[in-house]
Structures are given as C-alpha cells and as structure tokens.
Chain A
C-alpha cells in the first residue's frame, strides 16, 4: 500500500495552489497529487492568505498552522492578482521563505521579469505540465538539501556559484533568457 509521503524526506510535500479557474484548479490538483504532493487548492489570493494565517482579520487559530512547502499561483485573478499575492507573501517575515511560483496563460516578458524581481522562484506558462510539477518539487526538495550542503562546505568554497533552478523546460529557458543580461523593465 503506497503512502502519500515522498520517499526523499519524512514530511509530506504540501503545495498551496491558487487559481480562480475551477478547471485549472482541478488540473493542478491532479498534477500535484500524481507527483506525491499534498494539495490545498483555493480560488483566490485572499483565501490563500487566510489559509496561511496572513490575512490579519481572522484569528489564525481557526486554521491549523499550515505548513506549506510551495505556493503556486495563477497570475491573472480578479481581486488580488498572483503578483499582489506574491508581494504579500514576500513581505511577510514568517512566510517569505516559502518558494512562490507564478502560472500564467500568457507569456509576457515584462510580467515574468516583474514576478521574478519580486522573488518568484519560477514562472510557468500554462497549461502546466506534469514535468513542470515534478521539476519544481525536486527543485524545492533538492534546494533544502543543497542549502545544508552549502553550509557545511561554506569554508571550502565561498564563491561557489549556485544555480538553483536547473535547466529545464520552464518558460525561462524556452525563451532563451539570461536574467543577468536582460535590462530591467519597469
């Protein structure tokens, strides 16, 4: 009998997925479950903040401290956009370490730039594929191990270049973008 827990670490990999489209929520939920992730799918940024206990209105005791390993949010949502949600999360001392990935059906360079500059870990062009999810999960899980390894080798290689996001089929590499060289777009 298989367990839900990932084999590479003891805890469940929990993803908070945010998307106003019912169809997309269903698909992303399935993608994540197939990839052995625990999923909480919500329809809005404000709902997502509630789940995290960040909304400031409700007593966060109502929701159990939600341990979230990754947040995947749609960009275009009514009310609070994915970008605004990203800013709120990165602006919170408690949650800013959680990697946030933006999903969008539109491949707009300025939008991608803006999100990455605000701290998004990746920008996925919809429809999101199974390979995207698997890569993200491995990256996030691997990242935690990489950090431990880096700390222990800190003395040896101070300026070790760290390329966190492996070359992949993400929209970034498919665009052939080199983040450092691109001029900042306001």
Chain B
C-alpha cells in the first residue's frame, strides 16, 4: 500500500512531495488546496472571458498565464501542455482555437482533480504508518 502511495505521489507531485516532512506533514495538501481554489476561480474567469464578444485576448492570456503557472508549480504537466497550446491560440487571436483547447484543458484539469482526490483519500488511509516510515 505504501509503495502504491509513493508511486502516486511521485507521478503527481514530482518535487512537491520532497518539501513535505514530519514537521510539515500537510504541506502537499495545503498547497493543493490553494491550487484548487486558485484554479477553480481562474477556470471560471476564462469561461466567462471566452463567452464575451469580442474576446479580450489580453485578459484571457493573463488568466491562462496564472493558471498555467500554478499548475506547473504543483507538477501538473499535462494541464500545463494544454495551457501552452491555449496561449498559442490567444497570441494569434484565434477565439475558436481557444475555445476548443480550453475544453481539453478542462478535461486534463478534471482528470488531475480526480487523481488528487484519490491520492488524498488514499493517503489518509495509509496515513500514520506512512509518516513513520518516511524519513526526511
């Protein structure tokens, strides 16, 4: 079970988990919680901005830059890749391209959230044993 947890952690968080230790056992969860809030807000903003006519590509790019940034910080590589694609469309003012790509961004983001939730559920089960075994 611990091996499974460790694998999940590694595939999800890359370097983030090395920042967690016994003194700060909830660091990853705290960061991810912040990310949830931040990213949910940005996704909403982007959705709204895409509905406007004409589309304000500068604003859109700014939101996406933030979303991409924090996704990258928590190690969400797939989300980041879709975000980069989105920004390319933004740069050339392609509204349709942006809308299509944003669907992909949201798909990857939804997958990410599921994985994160599964991880945290799992981590809570494994919990104390995991902490005792992990040395940092």
User: Interface on A for B, CB 8 Å cutoff?
Assistant: 20-24, 26-27, 30-31, 34, 76, 78, 105, 126-127, 129-130
Contact = CB atoms under 8 A, between A and B. Distances in A.
Interface stretch (B11-19, B105-113, B120-128): B11-19
Interface string B54-71: 000000001001101110
Grouping DSSP codes into helix (H, G, I), strand (E, B) and loop, the B interface class, with mixed when no group exceeds half, is: helix
Contact of B66 (A21, A26, A31): A21
Contact of A30 (B27, B35, B69, B72): B27
A113 B73 CA distance: 24
B70 A24 contact: yes
Given A21-B69, A22-B70, A34-B21, 13 more contacts: A20-B66, A21-B38, A23-B34, A23-B69, A24-B70, A27-B19, A34-B19, A78-B62, A105-B65, A105-B68, A126-B72, A126-B73, A130-B15
A130 B27 CA distance: 15
Contacts of A27: 16, 19, 31, 73
B15, B24, B69: most-surrounded residue (chain A CB, <10 A): B69
Contacts of A129: 15
B18 A21 contact: no
A59 to B, nearest CB: 33
Contacts of A31: 19
12 contacts: A21-B38, A23-B34, A24-B69, A24-B70, A30-B19, A30-B31, A31-B19, A105-B68, A105-B69, A127-B73, A129-B15, A130-B19
A23 B74 contact: yes
Given A30-B27, A127-B75, A23 B70 contact: yes
Contacts of A24: 69-70, 73
Nearest to A129: B15
Given A27-B31, A76-B65, A105-B68, A21 B19 contact: no
Contact of B15 (A21, A26, A127): A127
Interface string B21-63: 1001001001100110010000000000000000000000010
Nearest to B15: A129
A23 B38 contact: yes
Nearest to A19: B69
A23, A27, A34, A76: most-surrounded residue (chain B CB, <10 A): A23
Contact of B31 (A23, A34, A78, A130): A23
